[in-house]
Amino acid sequence: MTESENWVVAFADADETQRSLLGGKGAGLAGMTKAGLPVPPGFTITTEACRAYYDAGRTMPDGLWEQIEAAIEALEAATGKVFGGDEDPLLVSVRSGAVFSMPGMMDTVLNLGLNPTSTAGLAAATDDEAFAWDAYRRLVQMYGEIVLGIDGSRLHEPNEHDRVDGQAAVRRLQTIARDQSGSRVPEDPRKQLRRAVAAVFDSWMGRRAIDYRSMEGIPDDLFTAVNVQAMVYGNTGPNSGTGVVFTRNPATGEAGLWGEYLPDAQGEDVVAGLRTPEPIAELAVRHPEVHERLVELTDQLEQTYRDMQDVEFTVERGKLWMLQTRAAKRTGRGAIRCAVEMANEGLINRQEAVGRVTPDRLEELLHPVVEPDDDTVTLVTGLAASPGGASGMVAFTADEAVALTEAGNDVILVRTETSPDDFHGMVAAQAVVTSRGGVTSHAAVVARGMGKCCVVGCEGMTVDYGEQLFRTPTAVVTAGDVITVDGTSGTVYAGLVPTAEPELDEDYETLMDWVDGVKRLDVRANADNPADAAAAHRLGARGIGLCRTEHMFFEGERIEEMRRMIMAPNTVARAEALAELEPHQTADFEALFTEMAGLPVTIRLLDPPLHEFLPSRSEVAETLTDLKLRLSGTGNLAEIDHILHEINEQQEILDQVERLSESNPMLGHRGCRLGVDYPEITAMQARAIFTAAVHCAEKGIDAHPEVMVPLVAFAAEFRQQRDIIRATAAEVFDDAGVEVPYHIGTMIELPRAALTADEICADAEFVSFGTNDLTQTALGLSRDDSSRFLPSYVRAGIIDGDPFQHLDEAGVGALVEIGTTKSRSVNPDLTVGVCGEHGGDPASIQFINGLAIDYISCSPYRVPIARLSAAHATLEHEAASTA
């Protein structure tokens, strides 16, 4: 017999480290057996046997059944009982057990081996006829459902009589089984076993299991093991029972045994929820010795596995039996406290503690949570774009959202989609819902950037701006109605659903200190205003990696000044308009430098095409129509004059809008191209930056300005902009009599820039990869339009995922690597960063960590995720290099 044909192994003989062969449950049972814990004996049929079963076309491969029979004989010898025998019979459970636990997804049959004679034998041996027939009834129910495939509800209908007369219940259920499936539970125990094992193999390819695996990303070809184990009975009276315990509280992480116990019951009774179990502390009252032993054994398990365990046990007439142990699933809060305390106890080291908390779990901790109750009504579901929860009044326009907020209300902005024009409304709103769009749509990206809850792409929802309402298949919601949004699950609820603010406690701070001690990459934040900068700082950002100055121009009166600047007919007029903007910028930068005192603040010069600051063509056209109407309705000469003047103004705006309109603005007149054509814009921004730095220096605040030139394609563009910035700095410092150290650098967001980074970065002091635009330009893919067809690309298997979420390593990643290598080849001291959404994405961070990059920069609320992911990347890198 070759190694690969060794399909069956006793718990006592198995090597518990072979998890992929034994499955999680089998490995746990083997481990507990080896450690001398009281585990009912049994054996594992390996995942390889399951694979062979499928290879053979869903039949037992040659030799498997013989091995199972031999194992049963060994089990009989070990227990001194006969499988299905007529005196004190050996009964077994048949339990599924995949490598990754799939709770509730696969099947288990208990009490195998019962038939009328062995039931009589069990009754005699236990002196409890009711118990024996009840066990047989349970077998018929489970076998009927799992092996014969009968709809469970047909077999589980409550029947008062069943408890009293178990024998009649078995007869009744056997009849139902025959009527429903054409066969009954066979009397031959070996037939029962053979079919039950096959049924557990089959359940690997059941709908439920397949769906669960696709959701959790578990591959189909891992297969399941099957565990056959001697039964123990928790349902033999008040001295018996069954329970589930955790070695710590999985919701809070608090140390100490936590769980439930159900007296006089078999394991599946706890799951079925027919009776409410009691807290595990009650066991200390009922059976102090059993409780003490349980504490002792579970402690031992935690010490052995060095992690929080989830344990199933049964008490049979005062004797404790251990039936399962596995690493416990836990909440974010639970994960952190447990990791910190285990490290403090010396059970694991700090690196391991850091590795135990996943970015997903941490993220859960950072957002307020919606807690729906029984009265909660779901309006519609969409894509969970940005986690968290919020309630508020529905507003359909950004202005309305601002007005309602200013009046002291919480507001939810609801739109078909959002555009940069809605930004102020998004700032004001507590959450954003759009009927269209994907998870990289404007609404989604901006909301995530603000750490604001957002649901997009709500199927079946229509927004009617005219009527000021939205419809879902079941409801109509009008402006001002209150709704609640859960961005974690992607659900919109009617009315006010309670939410809870997350609290970042001491354990969190401790863990994050350890995280910072592990990681190699620095983490900065993308922040455009003092509030974001403060949030980022609080969450551990070491500076600002990207401040998008244009966001400052959208606020309040500034947009008017900006428009005047854009409308300026000549350089002089433009200089005047810029002069009005400058003090605002200076004040903004001063606030940012103050918040980030001692840390770098990277300010990107104006980037978007100018038309984005003007009203849309249709808006102006509408204003013009209104004005003309007013003109025809008045006879007042003064008013006519006034209206004519306004018409003139609007006409000029319309002309300018038309002049600036581009057929492909993303690739048009933007980035440093604006600065090249309008050097006075670059000069104004540079003056604001250095004046702010001087003001800080005068107040003793340590400002570290870094001026970043966007969308550079040619080295000469960068040099030209750099010269303007340098000259301006010299001027400002000269006037003030104060000098502040600063850096000038560029952003690489065009393939040409990456490929010629050695030329472009020869004179730069830092460079930052703008991976959002680099993805757009490398793939020739517009982020705003791609949400319509990317999902079908993912479904068709053409790409793995959204390249705006996870960095496209082979393409965009290669450009980042080339750019890094080339720029460092001419400029070894260059600081290299990555800004863009990828800087907050764990998978992308893992890749970036492998390159010679110094820092990542992401939205403020992702800073802790980025820190943790950077630490994980370092740990994995170290593990790989020592392996």
Q: Is residue 267 at the binding interface for ligand ADP, with CB under 6 A as the rule?
A: yes
Q: Which of 291, 442, 537, 838 is catalytic?
A: 442
Asked if 638 contacts 672 with a C-beta cutoff of 8 angstroms, the reply is no
Look at residue 343 and give the partner it binds from ligand ADP, Mg ion, none, a contact being a CB closer than 5 to 8 Å depending on partner kind: none
Tell me which residue of 155, 154, 117 sits closest to 138, measured CA to CA.
155
- CB of 97: closest distance to ligand ADP in angstroms? 7
Look at residue 529 and give the partner it binds from Mg ion, ligand ADP, none, a contact being a CB closer than 5 to 8 Å depending on partner kind: none
Q: Is residue 108 at the binding interface for ligand ADP, with CB under 6 A as the rule?
A: yes
- Sole window of 226-234, 446-454, 535-543, 833-841 interacting with ligand ADP (rule: CB under 6 A): 226-234
Contacts 24+ apart (CB under 8 A), 369-375: 369/488, 369/499, 369/500, 369/502, 370/484, 370/485, 370/486, 370/488, 370/489, 370/491, 370/493, 370/497, 370/498, 370/499, 371/497, 371/498, 371/499, 371/500, 372/486, 372/493, 372/497, 373/497, 373/498
- The widest CA-to-CA distance across the chain, in whole angstroms, is 114
Residues 6+ apart with CB under 8 A from 779: 803, 808, 811, 812
Question: Can you tell me which of 95, 424, 584, 604 binds ligand ADP, judged by CB under 6 A?
Answer: 95
Look at residue 268 and give the partner it binds from ligand ADP, Mg ion, none, a contact being a CB closer than 5 to 8 Å depending on partner kind: ligand ADP
Asked if 718 contacts 712 with a C-beta cutoff of 8 angstroms, the reply is yes
| Residue least distant from ligand ADP (Cβ) | 267
CA dihedral of 868, 870, 873, 874, whole degrees rounded to 10: -100
Q: How many CB atoms lie within 10 A of CB 644?
A: 12
Cross-sheet strand order for the sheet of 462-464: 462-464, 469-471, 476-478
Q: How many CB atoms lie within 10 A of CB 12?
A: 15
Q: Which is nearer to ligand ADP, 110 or 140 (CB)?
A: 110
- CB of 276: closest distance to ligand ADP in angstroms? 16
Is there a catalytic annotation at residue 696?
Answer: no
Question: Can you tell me which of 268, 282, 410, 784 binds ligand ADP, judged by CB under 6 A?
Answer: 268
**Alpha-carbon distances, residue 629 vs 633, 637, 650 (angstroms):** 6, 15, 14
For the chain, the distance separating the N- and C-terminal CA atoms, rounded to the nearest angstrom, is 33
Look at residue 40 and give the partner it binds from Mg ion, ligand ADP, none, a contact being a CB closer than 5 to 8 Å depending on partner kind: ligand ADP
Q: Which is nearer to Mg ion, 311 or 657 (CB)?
A: 311
Residue in the block written with tokens 């002291």: 408
Q: Is residue 101 at the binding interface for Mg ion, with CB under 5 A as the rule?
A: no
- Sole window of 31-39, 60-68, 102-110, 499-507 interacting with Mg ion (rule: CB under 5 A): 102-110
Tell me which residue of 766, 765, 776, 777 sits closest to 713, measured CA to CA.
777
Q: Which is nearer to ligand ADP, 297 or 477 (CB)?
A: 297
Alpha helices in 519-596 (DSSP H): 530-538, 550-553, 558-567, 571-595
Size of the site for ligand ADP (CB under 6 A): 14
**Amino acid making up residue 388:** G
Q: Is residue 231 at the binding interface for ligand ADP, with CB under 6 A as the rule?
A: yes
Question: Can you tell me which of 31, 40, 389, 842 binds ligand ADP, judged by CB under 6 A?
Answer: 40
Is there a catalytic annotation at residue 537?
Answer: no
Tell me which residue of 298, 291, 243, 250 sits closest to 271, measured CA to CA.
243
- CB of 112: closest distance to ligand ADP in angstroms? 10
Look at residue 436 and give the partner it binds from Mg ion, ligand ADP, none, a contact being a CB closer than 5 to 8 Å depending on partner kind: none
- CB of 239: closest distance to ligand ADP in angstroms? 16
Alpha helices in 9-148 (DSSP H): 19-34, 47-55, 64-79, 116-126, 129-146
Asked if 540 contacts 517 with a C-beta cutoff of 8 angstroms, the reply is no
Asked if 58 contacts 202 with a C-beta cutoff of 8 angstroms, the reply is yes
Which residues are paired to 383 by β-bridges?
456
Tokens at residue 808, please?
A: 């496209």
| Phi, psi at 709, each rounded to 5° | -95, 120
Q: Is residue 108 at the binding interface for Mg ion, with CB under 5 A as the rule?
A: yes
Quick note: the x/- pattern for ligand ADP over 702-741, rule CB under 6 A, is: ----------------------------------------
Size of the site for Mg ion (CB under 5 A): 2
Look at residue 110 and give the partner it binds from Mg ion, ligand ADP, none, a contact being a CB closer than 5 to 8 Å depending on partner kind: ligand ADP
Distance CA 507, CA 332 (A): 11
- Sole window of 229-237, 484-492, 677-685, 809-817 interacting with ligand ADP (rule: CB under 6 A): 229-237
Tell me which residue of 282, 121, 112 sits closest to 197, measured CA to CA.
112
Secondary structure (DSSP) of 257-292: EEEEEEES--HHHHHHTSS--EETHHHHHH-HHHHH
Tell me which residue of 578, 570, 573, 567 sits closest to 606, measured CA to CA.
578
Q: Is residue 93 at the binding interface for ligand ADP, with CB under 6 A as the rule?
A: yes
Q: Which is nearer to Mg ion, 101 or 441 (CB)?
A: 101
Quick note: the x/- pattern for ligand ADP over 318-357, rule CB under 6 A, is: -----xx---------------------------------
- Sole window of 228-236, 679-687, 704-712, 813-821 interacting with ligand ADP (rule: CB under 6 A): 228-236
- CB of 106: closest distance to Mg ion in angstroms? 5
Look at residue 783 and give the partner it binds from Mg ion, ligand ADP, none, a contact being a CB closer than 5 to 8 Å depending on partner kind: none
Q: Is residue 325 at the binding interface for Mg ion, with CB under 5 A as the rule?
A: no
Question: Can you tell me which of 314, 381, 685, 823 binds ligand ADP, judged by CB under 6 A?
Answer: 314
Q: Is residue 115 at the binding interface for Mg ion, with CB under 5 A as the rule?
A: no
Question: Can you tell me which of 39, 52, 110, 135 binds ligand ADP, judged by CB under 6 A?
Answer: 110
Quick note: the x/- pattern for Mg ion over 132-151, rule CB under 5 A, is: --------------------
Q: Is residue 227 at the binding interface for Mg ion, with CB under 5 A as the rule?
A: no
Contacts 24+ apart (CB under 8 A), 821-824: 821/852, 822/754, 822/755, 822/756, 822/757, 822/758, 822/761, 823/757, 823/758, 823/760, 823/761, 823/764, 823/767, 824/852
Question: Can you tell me which of 33, 111, 247, 324 binds Mg ion, judged by CB under 5 A?
Answer: 324
- Sole window of 227-235, 578-586, 780-788, 866-874 interacting with ligand ADP (rule: CB under 6 A): 227-235
Q: Which of 454, 696, 835, 858 is catalytic?
A: 835
Q: Which is nearer to ligand ADP, 142 or 672 (CB)?
A: 142
Q: Which is nearer to ligand ADP, 266 or 777 (CB)?
A: 266
Q: Is residue 771 at the binding interface for Mg ion, with CB under 5 A as the rule?
A: no
Q: Which is nearer to ligand ADP, 294 or 696 (CB)?
A: 294
Local structure of 371: helix, strand or coil: coil
- CB of 312: closest distance to Mg ion in angstroms? 5
Look at residue 437 and give the partner it binds from ligand ADP, Mg ion, none, a contact being a CB closer than 5 to 8 Å depending on partner kind: none
Q: Which is nearer to ligand ADP, 314 or 484 (CB)?
A: 314
- CB of 96: closest distance to ligand ADP in angstroms? 6
Look at residue 694 and give the partner it binds from ligand ADP, Mg ion, none, a contact being a CB closer than 5 to 8 Å depending on partner kind: none
Distance CA 226, CA 49 (A): 9
Tell me which residue of 584, 586, 589 sits closest to 602, measured CA to CA.
589
- CB of 212: closest distance to ligand ADP in angstroms? 12
- CB of 233: closest distance to Mg ion in angstroms? 16
Contacts 24+ apart (CB under 8 A), 307-311: 307/342, 307/348, 307/356, 308/246, 308/247, 308/248, 308/250, 308/334, 308/338, 308/342, 309/246, 309/247, 310/244, 310/245, 310/246, 310/250, 311/244, 311/245, 311/246, 311/247, 311/259
Residue in the block written with tokens 């936590």: 258
> What does DSSP say about strands 831-835 and 855-858: parallel, antiparallel, or unpaired?
parallel
Q: Which is nearer to ligand ADP, 228 or 354 (CB)?
A: 228
Q: Which residues of this protein are in contact with Mg ion, per CB under 5 A? A: 108, 324
Which residues are identified as catalytic? Answer: 442, 835
Q: Which residues of this protein are in contact with ligand ADP, per CB under 6 A? A: 40, 93, 95, 108, 110, 229, 231-232, 267-268, 312, 314, 323-324
